[in-house]
Amino acid sequence: MALTSFSYLLLLFSAVAISIIIPYRYRWIILLIVSIYFYLSFIPSYFLIMILLIILNFFGGKMIQGKYKKRILFFIIGLNIGILIVFKYLEFFFSSLLHVFNIESSELSLSLSLLLPLGLSFVIFQLISYLAEVYKGTIKRERHFGIFSLSVLFSPKIIAGPIERPQGFLAQLHHKVYITFPFIISGFKLLSLGFFKKMVIADRLGVIVDTVYQSPEQYVGVPLIIATLAFTFQLYCDFSGYTDIARGSAMFFGYDFVENFRFPYISRSIKEFWRRWHISLSTWFRDYVYIPLGGNKVSQPRHYLNILVSFLLSGLWHGVGWNFVLWGFLHGVGVIASELIAPSNFLRGNQFIKILGNIFAWASTFLFITVTWILFRAQNFSDAWYVFTHASIGLKSFAFNLFRNDGSVYDYVFNQGNGLGLPKEQIFIAVIALLLLSIFEFFQARWDRTNVLIRVSLYILLVLGIINLSFVYERPFIYVQF
Amino acid sequence: MKDLLFMFNSDSKFLIGKTMIFLILLYVAQVFITSVFPFDLPDTIRNYKVIRESSPTVIYFGDSVMRTVHPQDRDKRPIYLMLQKNLPDDLVASIDQMAYHPGIYEAYVRNIAQSRFKELKYVIVPINLRTFSPEWDKRPQYQFEKEKWLLSYEYTPLYSFLHFLFSIRAINLEPISDVSFLQTPIYLGEKQVGIVSDFENYSYKEFSEENFRKKAIYYYLYDLHSEHRKLQSLINIAHILHEKNIEVVFYITPIDIESGEKILPNQFKKQVITNASTIVNEIENEGFTVLNLVDALLADAFHWNVYINEHLNMKGRIFVAEKIAEDISRFRKESEIQK
């Protein structure tokens, strides 16, 4: 059941309607039933893994408060990570080992390709943060098994987060929150924004990205650049769209999830980017990996090592493959570089130099992010290398032909390989929609100071975009695979 | 229930008012957009709208039988243009579909009944027997759900929101999945002889007797029942048009029975004739007539002369066009007598 489907909306609105009618104390039951139904609509058998995790961590939280709490904490966290390894990384580790020892996997008839249970990485990270917070004493262990289960399974966020802390969503489940009209309106606003990002922009750009990245060796130059840029915006619209839908769905019930994105592509350094991109994950790594390793309260080399370790793990969390490890490593290096050459360190003096410096900082950060997304999107390392090495081929003649207007530029861009997979009017729609989203987000950042007419007009345009320009062919959310 | 009370306190009432204004503005803008920039319409519906503007007197629901032309044909016109020559006082238009389906024709007819077709007098509906077989009837690509919705709801407020409903899959545009299609049973008369997947891989290019036999069974030798949805659509078409005083001309498309009998002697002709009779009887029971041409032509009037088919060459198309013109002339005389 996709979050952008009619079935999901029907389920959501039915749950809201029932929650309004029944007494508050029974609401968790309705939400839990709906969440279980939602999860079962994917692969029912993996629900057993979720039950196992819930039981393990519920009772784990209880045991942590007793004797040998540190050992128990590490043991239960180890079990959680063990489950994640079995389902997510086992095949990767074995195939890497076999590759190192030059053994054909078919010789050993290894069949380790277990399907990753939906949302497992997100759920396990949420549960680890629960255990850690109980251990630190910042929260009390949850005594209500039903509420605890709901905090894990709650349908809008189980697939791809945000990774909620126990002080957040779990605590909110104990507060009496009435469903009010302002909550419903806020829910609809977030839902609309999410639908627009996902169905109008991400799904449309996804066609270009999939077409080119399916067989990148058929392309050289500009199409590779276009597809990579398209992926940059597809990924943002896809994932932040998902988060908006999840946050909007929770908002109907009066629950407020953490913000996961804050205009990440306006960042002027990689460090800033990670304060704006997938915030619930980056703060998780900060709190449960980077700080326990010593954070910045250690020697400088060790501090940089802590950053690198956190980002290598973040890369591995995102996906199974050496390209993800390298992606994480490069971002770690990027964060270290941001600390070493922070623009504020040398951008002093007159306003013009400041502006110029900021533009340069933004452009170089955006370029770095876009280029490293190649590792994120390519199907394997050799495809990524191909895109790296062939994206700039023919740029000179492209720029030269741009002014000749004899159709050669059009052929070069649109008729290579399998073309870009999208007719040019669809590409035009995607660009216009991106522009509208940028304007929307520009005003959203200063919503309270924005004229009501502009706000209403923007929302009308957004909803009209969804009604008229949604891409009919469904594409799964990208982060679901993580 | 407390939530309900909270929802309608005085602060909320103000917000509800603003929301209502927003929704009205949105609806007006959407209706305007749909009328100025009609959303991504399939070519067939786009063509239909052009035809609607041209006020034809005769509409012909075509499919591949109507337009297939043999390379050696001297006259390469499709049937409806041949018919136009036979009916010089009429304007004949063809509403063409990729594949035959009375369900989509019914949607067109419902739309016609609500539209401004002031001049329309006759609607010609071919009845292609092969399309009643599971091979055709259940094929996912031949369901035309999107077109049916667009035609059926054109004159309702829902029309402006159909694209969105398609996008969120509130409307199922693929009622038959590939998997269920491949598992559909195939019958030889009343006896099941396999499922679709057993028959799908037989190629046209393999000229073996066994291949032709399988194809004949797969395409034509089912046992037609009166409840068949395509037959019900034909009856609905007749009633809708009758209410609007538009004559419907049904004709059963000829089939190359001569070639069929060579492959399945005493079996092919019998089953095809029986199926055609079922259609004729059901439609006539409703008070309408059917021109039964199923066995009216020999093998030399068909497009392919190596295996059984219903695609016609020039000779076949001229014959059919003449028969339809005769039928229309008969209708015309009858109505003049009634006047």
Q: Do B161 and A467 touch (CB under 8 A)?
A: yes
User: A459 to chain B: which residues are within 8 Å by CB?
Assistant: 22
Q: Cα(B297)–Cα(B254) distance, rounded to whole angstroms?
A: 6
Determine the residue of chain B that is closest to A195 in CA distance: B168
What are the φ/ψ torsions at residue B249 (nearest 5 degrees)?
A: -110, 105
Tell me whether strands B122-127 and B247-252 are parallel, antiparallel or unpaired.
parallel
Size of interface A-B (CB pairs under 8 A): 77
Interface test with A, best of B21, B41, B167 (most A CBs within 10 A): B167
Domain spans, chain A: 6-176, 183-269+342-481
Q: Is B27 on the interface with A (CB under 8 A)?
A: no
Q: Cα(A394)–Cα(B33) distance, rounded to whole angstroms?
A: 42
Do B23 and B126 lie in one domain? The reply is no
Do B197 and B241 lie in one domain? The reply is yes
User: A6 to chain B: which residues are within 8 Å by CB?
Assistant: 165, 168-170
Q: Is B23 on the interface with A (CB under 8 A)?
A: no
Tell me whether strands B185-188 and B191-195 are parallel, antiparallel or unpaired.
antiparallel
Q: Which of A273-282, B142-151, B194-203 has the lowest mean pLDDT?
A: B194-203
Residues in chain A: 482
Structure confidence at residue A415 as a pLDDT band (50, 70, 90): confident
Q: What is the DSSP letter of B190?
A: T
Determine the residue of chain B that is closest to A463 in CA distance: B26
Evaluate whether A199 touches A466 at the Cβ level (below 8 Å).
yes
Q: Do B167 and A472 touch (CB under 8 A)?
A: yes
**A145-164 confidence digits (pLDDT tens):** 999 999 999 988 888 778 88
What are the φ/ψ torsions at residue A336 (nearest 5 degrees)?
A: -60, -45
Element (DSSP H or E) covering residue B292: strand B290-292
Q: Quote ipTM for the complex.
A: 0.77
Q: Do B3 and A6 touch (CB under 8 A)?
A: no
Query: Measured between alpha carbons, how far is residue A112 from residues A44, A205, A320, B125 in Å?
Result: 20, 33, 14, 58
What are the φ/ψ torsions at residue A162 (nearest 5 degrees)?
A: -65, 155
Structure confidence at residue B294 as a pLDDT band (50, 70, 90): very high
Determine the residue of chain B that is closest to A189 in CA distance: B19
Nearest to A27 by CA among A141, A189, A146, A160: A146
Evaluate whether B135 touches B218 at the Cβ level (below 8 Å).
yes
Do B31 and B145 lie in one domain? The reply is no
3-state helix, strand, coil in chain A (%, to 5): 75, 0, 25
Do B238 and B323 lie in one domain? The reply is yes
Structure confidence at residue A4 as a pLDDT band (50, 70, 90): confident
The token duo for A135 is 């251990």
Interface test with B, best of A184, A467, A474 (most B CBs within 10 A): A467
The token duo for A123 is 């759920």
Mean pLDDT of A178-201: 91
- Name the residue facing B164 among A185, A456, A467 (closest C-beta): A467
Query: Measured between alpha carbons, how far is residue A21 from residues A30, A88, A161, A182 in Å?
Result: 11, 42, 28, 17
Q: Name B60's bridge partners.
A: B94, B124
Do B215 and B95 lie in one domain? The reply is yes
Q: Which of A179-193, B12-26, B153-167 has the lowest mean pLDDT?
A: B12-26
Q: Cα(A161)–Cα(A242) distance, rounded to whole angstroms?
A: 9
Do B15 and B127 lie in one domain? The reply is no
Q: State which residues form the domain around B4.
A: 1-35
User: Which is more confident, A172 or B39?
Assistant: A172
Task: Give the model's pLDDT for residue B6.
Answer: 57
User: B166 to chain A: which residues are within 8 Å by CB?
Assistant: 472
Determine the residue of chain A that is closest to B21 in CA distance: A456
CA of B136, closest CA in chain A: separation in Å? Answer: 25
Do B195 and B283 lie in one domain? The reply is yes
Contacts with A, B 163-182, CB within 8 Å: 163-170
Do B56 and B85 lie in one domain? The reply is yes
Q: Do B11 and A471 touch (CB under 8 A)?
A: no
Which pTM was predicted?
Answer: 0.84
Determine the residue of chain A that is closest to B26 in CA distance: A460
Structure confidence at residue A439 as a pLDDT band (50, 70, 90): very high
Do B18 and B136 lie in one domain? The reply is no
Q: Do B2 and A466 touch (CB under 8 A)?
A: no
Structure confidence at residue B307 as a pLDDT band (50, 70, 90): confident
Compute, in degrees rounded to 10, the torsion defined by CA atoms A52, A53, A59, A62. 180
Q: Do B163 and A7 touch (CB under 8 A)?
A: no
Task: Give the model's pLDDT for residue B10.
Answer: 58
Q: Cα(A345)–Cα(A361) distance, rounded to whole angstroms?
A: 12
Task: Give the model's pLDDT for residue B191.
Answer: 87
Q: Do A182 and B11 touch (CB under 8 A)?
A: yes
Q: Do B1 and A185 touch (CB under 8 A)?
A: no
CA of B172, closest CA in chain A: separation in Å? Answer: 10
Name the amino acid, one letter, at A355: I
Q: Cα(B223)–Cα(B178) distance, rounded to whole angstroms?
A: 23
Task: Give the model's pLDDT for residue A109.
Answer: 47
Q: Name A309's bridge partners.
A: none
Q: Do A20 and B22 touch (CB under 8 A)?
A: no
CA of B337, closest CA in chain A: separation in Å? Answer: 52
What number of other Cβ atoms are within 10 A of residue B186's Cβ? Answer: 20
CATH number where B329 lies: 3.40.50.1110
**A336-359 confidence digits (pLDDT tens):** 998 888 666 666 667 777 788 888
Q: Do A467 and B163 touch (CB under 8 A)?
A: yes
Do B52 and B22 lie in one domain? The reply is no
CA of A387, closest CA in chain B: separation in Å? Answer: 33
**A41-100 confidence digits (pLDDT tens):** 888 888 898 999 999 999 998 888 777 888 889 999 999 999 988 888 777 777 777 777
Query: Measured between alpha carbons, how far is residue B191 from residues B187, B194, B257 in Å?
Result: 5, 9, 21
Query: Domain tally for chain B?
Result: 2
Q: What is the DSSP letter of A334?
A: H
Determine what percent of chain A is predicted with pLDDT higher than 90: 48
Structure confidence at residue A427 as a pLDDT band (50, 70, 90): confident
Determine what percent of chain B is predicted with pLDDT higher than 70: 94
Do B166 and B309 lie in one domain? The reply is yes
Chain A interface residues facing chain B, Cβ-Cβ under 8 Å?
4-7, 9, 19-21, 23-24, 178-182, 184-185, 199, 456, 459-460, 463-464, 466-468, 470-472, 474
- Name the residue facing B30 among A7, A199, A464 (closest C-beta): A464
Do B93 and B194 lie in one domain? The reply is yes
**B253-288 confidence digits (pLDDT tens):** 999 999 889 888 989 999 999 999 999 999 999 999
Nearest to A444 by CA among A242, A189, A243: A189
- pLDDT > 60? residue A314: yes
Q: Is B188 helix (H, G, I), strand (E, B) or coil?
A: strand
Q: Cα(B219)–Cα(B309) distance, rounded to whole angstroms?
A: 9
Residues A455, A459, A465: CA angle, nearest 5 degrees: 145
